[in-house]
Amino acid sequence: MMKSLIALLPFVSLALGSTRPFLSHRQANVSSTSVNPVGVESGARCACKKLVTSYSDLVLLPGSANYTAQTIYYWDVRSDMDPGCIFLPKTADQVCNAVEIFTTCDAQFAVRGGGHMNYPGSNNIEGGVLLAFNNMNDYKVHNDTIDVSPGMTWYDVYSALDPYGRAAIGGRLKTIGVPGLTLIGGVSYFINKYGFAMDNVVSYDVVLGNGTQVIANATSHPDLFWALKGGANNFGIVTKFTLKTYSMPHISTTIQEFNESGVYDFLKATCDWVVGDSETTIAAGSVLDISYNVTTGEMSPMLLGVQEGISNPPSMFKNFTAIPGTYKINNVTTAKQWASNLDSPKQMFRVMFAHHSMYPDPDVLYSMYQTWKSAIDQIADVEGLYPTMVFNIAPASAAKVAQTNGVGNVWGLAGEPLIWWQFSTGWSNAKDDLRVESTIRQLTEHLHGLNKANGLAREFVYMGDAGEWQDPFAGFPGENVQRMREIRADYDPRGTFSRLNWGGFKLGF
């Protein structure tokens, strides 16, 4: 059963042929979006030389053992690039020294946590320096918090808390890294009650662009503390997250799959749930998607639902349970055990996201679904095509956490229920990049335009669901963006994280 579950997860396609020679794999999947800025090699040569001098055992150079494995330590094949060197620090002090070297050498660099963000250049770099956190994976459990290092995945966190019967508010898939998800906001299974991952960070240890370290929390550098809650990689490198934890010795789960005849009811249940979920005190959340098998023509709506407690079946998903389905499996388990089966293997395909927000309306969602299906049919001959329409729910109660905790976050969401609809599209070969990307981009903006015309669209764009061509900051309150720029100027006057670390979603000027 779990093998079937893995194959049906959103963002996960059938494995590509594993018998091809490794070299031909790299040649066949060179990303059309890779960049090689003028001067990047000279700065990298300087930085790599200095890093080797200080930390010879922590630096990987092209051709050295393990270098190649690190260059493909990514979920999306499009993120595969060849850095000038790879630095694998073990301590925050070493991160500080590395940042000092980057600024001295004027070296462009990237930072990688879990390697899951599918934005080419967000966590890897062609010719520059890659700072990767594989060696920083220690933690410390306290009574109601946990100190987490940036090399940990969310499965690592759930495993660390399992003996204590506690859980953190974090990623829904096993291999998602802590730093990327937390810094962009972080959707979890329990946002309706506890807010987003960023709302559950009580302290950050941060390396600034000048190589110094600060602690950002409610009393120490509170402006930076606020900016890191959804501000992404614009302010520094976080080397420790202190996260709230909650008593959660058991969770109730449900896996439900439907066929095409159930699509409308599935979408209506989704809309009803995000509205109703805003009024509940039970922490619950989901992965909701419709996968399209372009070979067989089959549509497969699917729910992965989780709620705190031992309700079996989970009471929060009764609207879905009422829909006839192809299979339904309910269980009472732990966060660790549930996450252990939700893998999203690296290097399975090329993948692009595209997303917008809307007020829930099942009739409009169903029309959007039909339009998406027709658009996918036009590119059905693309090799390895794996299209999925995803529905992340953001109940009003999720936004209210930040509105009432005395800290807030940079999003400034209004307290209303929203659906973040997303197209997650996988494919096999670089030669199809432009065709797939242009189709999905045009479709996304067309549907968003229709939703704007009928008053349902919202401009918020979540970085974790966005395409690299989208600007999430355009959907933030203008005063929040201006405040973030002022904070960036105060903490990074040299522009280390806008000029040298340019990948990912940047604030601009």
CATH number of the domain within which 394 lies: 3.40.462.20
Strands 386-394 and 298-308: unpaired
Q: What is the pTM of this model?
A: 0.92
- Cβ distance 188 to 196 under 8 Å? yes
Among residues 100, 132, 164, the one where a domain terminates is 132
Please indicate, yes or no, whether residues 289 and 355 belong to a single structural domain of this protein.
yes
Amino acid (1-letter code) at residue 79 = S
For residue 255, the model assigns a pLDDT of 97
For residue 39, the model assigns a pLDDT of 66
For residue 281, the model assigns a pLDDT of 87
Please indicate, yes or no, whether residues 243 and 274 belong to a single structural domain of this protein.
no
For residue 276, the model assigns a pLDDT of 85
Q: Please provide the DSSP assignment of 280-291 as one string.
A: --S-EEEEEEEE
- With CA atoms as reference, report the closest residue to 40 among 84, 100, 2: 84
Please indicate, yes or no, whether residues 200 and 349 belong to a single structural domain of this protein.
no
Instruction: Indicate whether 10 belongs to any domain.
Output: no
Q: Residues with Cβ < 8 Å from 184, sequence gap 6 or more?
A: 117, 230, 232, 462, 463, 464, 505
- With CA atoms as reference, report the closest residue to 202 among 151, 154, 143: 143
For residue 65, the model assigns a pLDDT of 86
Q: Residues with Cβ < 8 Å from 115, sequence gap 6 or more?
A: 73, 74, 75, 79, 123, 124, 177, 346
Run means of pLDDT, 10 residues per run, the chain, 509 residues: 43 29 31 47 95 98 94 94 97 98 97 92 96 98 98 97 98 94 97 96 98 98 98 98 98 97 98 84 95 96 97 94 96 96 90 97 98 98 97 95 96 95 97 98 98 98 96 97 98 96 91
Q: Which domain holds residue 220?
A: 139-247+477-500
Instruction: Indicate whether 64 belongs to any domain.
Output: yes
Neighbours of 319 (CB within 10 A): 16
Among residues 81, 116, 132, the one where a domain terminates is 132
Among residues 82, 117, 132, the one where a domain terminates is 132
